[in-house]
Structure 1
Amino acid sequence: MKFAVTTRRFLRKARSHFFMLLLCVFAAAQAFAAIPAGDIRIHYHRPDGNYAGWTIYAFDNTTENTGNYGGGPVQVTGTDSFGAYFDVGVTPGAQEVGIIIHNPTASGGDQKDTPNNLFVDPATQGIEYWAYSGIAKLYTTAPSLTNPTALLPGYVRVHYHRTDGNYAGWTIYAFFDTTEFTGDYNSGLVPATNTDAYGVYFDVAVVPNAQNLGLIIHNPSAPGGDQKDLDRTSLSILLPKALSTGATPGSASCTRASQV
């Protein structure tokens, strides 16, 4: 009798351990789910952990439905250690994929995670990106969850100050040693990433061992047409191993920026 009771206990424990093993295997499979062919994956982290209602609207080089912004055409695909992620269909050879992370069901109406539209170039930047809520950049490596504003490898940070404090519509067009898409000057493909004590800053993706990065700070939506901050000039920045760069209106010199 004692042998039978012991056997039953052993079987219960064995079943319990087997069930836990299955859960772990399933969780690992979810965490490392392959990105489907023809898709890009966007990982998204919210500090509040609430992803209910958050969705992606994709445009330009996408195969997703672009005619239903309010319907949330790209729902959360899955979750991982970073947060939630979305798999977004793109066209063959896609170079300009527009992304809006938003919540069309938010209290008070549609809520965009950042005011600016975001863009990626899968042809030069790959098919996997990370977004931290409130930071207007889709990075090619995961930002730190404890220090999300830290500059990541492969990017140059350009700090920008305007005496009028009005940064609406101001963006950067990058060229030469960059992985940002260079085929669309007017769409503002590199909007302000975030704000700091200096003003705003732009994180600009660069190629490995970048040495010459061209920058135009401009406002393509300005009244009367595109407005360059530096009057008909562009900035050409020589990039040694480390550099700090920043710009103020009307000045063609870069005085404060960073590269990792």
Structure 2
Amino acid sequence: MKKTMISLLAVALLGTSAAFAQEQDPADLPEKPTGLQPWTLRVHYARDNKDYEGWGVYAWKGPRNGAPKWPGNWRFNRKDGYGVFYDVALGEGATMMEFLITDGKGNKNCPNDQKLELSSNLAHKGQEVWIRQGECKLYSARPKG
């Protein structure tokens, strides 16, 4: 009886911690980004008002698994000191990614399709790009200010 109760308690505790991990809000995630995986593009995005509801990456050339269904996107799911970010898994051998930052309803951060030439080191250490609200410029390093 005692062993059964201990086993049930252990299962309940494991289930609670697993549920907590799945329900954790991206805003509560740690600010220190994890290292980049090979063939990954980390897309950072900053909005002045810090309202990221619905915003994410829509990409059609370069991602390993193809594009999300328009007007959907891959929602930014992590945060850092700059704003939010999403890691796009790229197809091996990818040399370019074409994409938009959207609100998931078809509204775009930049009215133009964006193209990013991918680094030759992508296969070894991934790549990062930084984007600001309302700008079409792609930064290869975190912009100041």
Does the pair score TM above 0.5? yes
- The answer as to whether partners of 1:93 and 1:123 remain within 8 angstroms in 2 is no
1:59 aligns with 2:60: yes
Alpha-carbon distance, 1:67 to partner: 5.2
Q: Deviations over 1:168-214 (max 9, x none)?
A: xxxxxxxxxxxxxxxxxxxxxxxxxxxxxxxxxxxxxxxxxxxxxxx
1:132 aligns with 2:128: no
Equivalent residue for 2:102?
102
SS in 2 for 1:62: coil
RMSD across aligned C-alpha pairs, in angstroms? 1.9
TM-score, length-scaled by structure 2: 0.70
Cα distance between partner residues in 1 of 2:140 and 2:121: 7
SS in 1 for 2:119: helix
SS in 2 for 1:31: coil
Equivalent residue for 1:144?
144
- Computing the radius of gyration over CA atoms, which structure comes out larger, 1 or 2? 1
One-letter amino acid of the structure 2 residue matched with residue 33 of structure 1: T
Cα distance between partner residues in 2 of 1:102 and 1:94: 22
TM-score, length-scaled by structure 1: 0.40
SS in 1 for 2:92: coil
The structure that is helix-richer by fraction is 2
How many correspondences in the alignment?
113
1:111 aligns with 2:112: no
SS in 2 for 1:71: coil
Structure 1 unmatched runs, 5+: 1-25, 146-260
1:120 aligns with 2:116: yes
Q: State the structure with bigger RCO (CA 8 A, min sep 6), 1 or 2.
A: 2
Cα distance between partner residues in 2 of 1:71 and 1:139: 24
| Identical positions, percent | 24
Alignment of 1:15-30 (within 5 A): 27=30, 30=31
